[in-house]
Structure 1
Amino acid sequence: MDKTLEQSYGQLSILEDCTITRQILDRVGDKWSVLIIVNLGVKSLRFKELQRRSGGISQRMLTQTLRHLERDGLVWRKATPTVPLTVEYGLTALGESLLHPLQALVEWVNGNRAAIAEARTGYDSKHEPVGTE
Structure 2
Amino acid sequence: MRWLSCVLLLLGLAACDAAGPGFYGAEKRIREVEGARFTLRFQGALVEATRTNPDWLPRFPDVARKAGIAAQIESGCRADWVEGDPAMMWIGLSCDGKPAPKRPRRPKTLYCDIGDVTRRGATYAGALTCRK
| TM-score, scaled relative to structure 2 | 0.24
- Scaled by the length of structure 1, what TM-score is found? 0.24
- Structure (1 or 2) with the greater helix fraction: 1
Larger Rg: 1
Of Structure 1 and Structure 2, which has the larger fraction of its residues in strand? 2
